[in-house]
Structures are given as structure tokens and as C-alpha cells.
Amino acid sequence: MSIRDWPASDRPREKLLMRGAAILTDAELLAIFLRTGLPGRSAVDLARELLTRFGSLRALLAASQREFCSAHGLGQAKYAQLQAVLEMGRRHLDEDLRERDSLSDPSAVRRYLQARLRGLDHEVFAALFLDSQHRLIAYEAITHGTIDGASIYPREVVKAALRLGAAAIIFAHNHPSGIAEPSAADRILTDRLREALRLVDVRVLDHFVVGEGRPVSFAERGWL
């Protein structure tokens, strides 16, 4: 049966308009994105099959272009559309941080960093450069790949902070393994960066490690 023949209260799009997006299942949300199904299968049926194949909605959203396009019912156009949707979400979070004190709402910082870093298959060490009111000036990825003390130069971070006129910084990096527990090397590197930035009166407010679940905060653990 086509979704058009379903009662209006059961159709994903109508449910969203009447009751809000939060009420929908992952399959229903994905069905709205897909718009159409395949012969003999509704968009909801196809969405359920895709969720089973990829394991979860987040895994599907984080799939590489090759993995995504190899699934029956998807393709280059859908991949491009999905990437545009994800980027709009990231930019929305970016604008949100630019309008508020980052320290007043650490949950907003966590959401932003998760959108940027979670699910990547390689390590990225990044920084949120903040003004004197702790509002976002810029997000910059400092290095990609395996992170260690030799790959991150404090002087380059200092130069970036001065170039942007930053008064404070929040560092972040991801663990592709999904385990967000900071290492001893993470703490040593953070201390080196904090000492270098202290010389130019730039405060290090926090360092988040992003993995599965809630990102770990150095500040909350009393390490800053």
C-alpha cells in the first residue's frame, strides 16, 4: 500500500506537521528525506531496510559516499542532498554559538563539537576561538591524522589566536575508536598549549574529547 493511502495521522510528513519532528521514529524521519520508495516498498519500508543495513541512523548519516551510494534506493543525488542538510545543521549550531556565551551553555558547545567531530574515521584536533564575551569567533581544525605533541605546534596556535583576536580558546579532538577517555598525552599537550597561550593573555577554557556518548570535558574533571 502506498503511503498516500495511509490515514493522514500515520503519514510521516503529516505527523511531523501536526505533532512535531520529535515524535517521529528514525525510519519515519528518513522516509521524509527519501520522499519515495521502490516498486512494492514504501519510503518507510525502504527507510527501515536502510537502517537495518547500516545499523543506525547515525551510521547511515556518517557513511562515506561510496558506502551510501552502494545501497539500493540511494545515489549521488541523495548523498549530495544529505550532505547539504548536515552542513545546514552545523551552520545553525555555529550561528547559535556566535550569539551566546559558550560557558553559559556547555551543552550547546557539546552539540556543536559532536556535529563537527563525532563519526570521523581519523583524528582531528580543533579549536574554538572565542572573544572576550566567550562568543565564537571561529572554529578551526589545527591538525588531521594521528595526534601527538610533535604534530601540534603551540606557536602556530598562538599565531592563530592573535590573528583572530581571540581572548579564549576551547580545544577539542575526537577519538575514532569511540572511547572518549583522555590519554596522558592529551593532558600533557593541553598543558603545553595552555602555558604558551598564557604568555599572550589567551585563556584555555576547556578541552573536550569527542567519542561515543557525552564528550569528556577537562574543565569538569578539574584539569584546567
Encoded amino acid at 202, one letter: V
Spans of all domains in the chain: 3-74, 101-217
For 8-66, give the secondary structure using H, E and C: HHHCHHHHHHHHCHHHCCHHHHHHHHHCCCECCECHHHHHHHHHHHHCCHHHHHCCCHH
Task: Give the residue, 10 or 75, on which the prediction is more confident.
Answer: 75
On whether the CB atoms of residues 43 and 34 are closer than 8 A, the answer is yes
β 203-210/216-217 pair status: antiparallel
Task: Give the residue, 45 or 4, on which the prediction is more confident.
Answer: 45
* Three cell numbers, residue 152: 601540534
Q: How confident is the model at residue 210 (pLDDT cuts 50, 70, 90)?
A: very high
pLDDT at residue 98 above 80?
no
Dihedral sign, Cα of residue 10, residue 15, residue 19, residue 20: positive
DSSP notation for 84-121: HHHHHHHHHHHHHHHTS-GGG-HHHHHHHHHHHHTT-S
Task: Give the residue, 208 or 21, on which the prediction is more confident.
Answer: 208
Spatial separation of the C-alpha atoms in residues 155 and 133, rounded to whole Å: 24
On whether the CB atoms of residues 123 and 148 are closer than 8 A, the answer is no
On whether the CB atoms of residues 206 and 194 are closer than 8 A, the answer is no
Please tell me the predicted confidence (pLDDT) of residue 150: 44
Spatial separation of the C-alpha atoms in residues 64 and 204, rounded to whole Å: 34
Q: How confident is the model at residue 188 (pLDDT cuts 50, 70, 90)?
A: very high
Q: How confident is the model at residue 149 (pLDDT cuts 50, 70, 90)?
A: very low
Beta bridge partners of 130: 136, 168
Please tell me the predicted confidence (pLDDT) of residue 104: 64
Which pTM does this prediction carry? 0.69
Q: In the predicted model, what is the mean pLDDT of residues 17-26?
A: 88
Q: How confident is the model at residue 43 (pLDDT cuts 50, 70, 90)?
A: confident
Does domain 101-217 correspond to CATH entry 3.40.140.10?
Answer: yes
Please tell me the predicted confidence (pLDDT) of residue 118: 84
On whether the CB atoms of residues 118 and 103 are closer than 8 A, the answer is no
Please tell me the predicted confidence (pLDDT) of residue 105: 67
Exposure class string for 183-214: b at 16+ Cβ within 10 A, else e: eeebeebbeebbebbeeeebbbbbbbbbbeee
Cβ neighbours of 60 (radius 10 Å) = 20
Please tell me the predicted confidence (pLDDT) of residue 1: 54
> What are the pLDDT digits (tens) for 45-75?
888 999 999 998 888 888 889 998 998 888 8
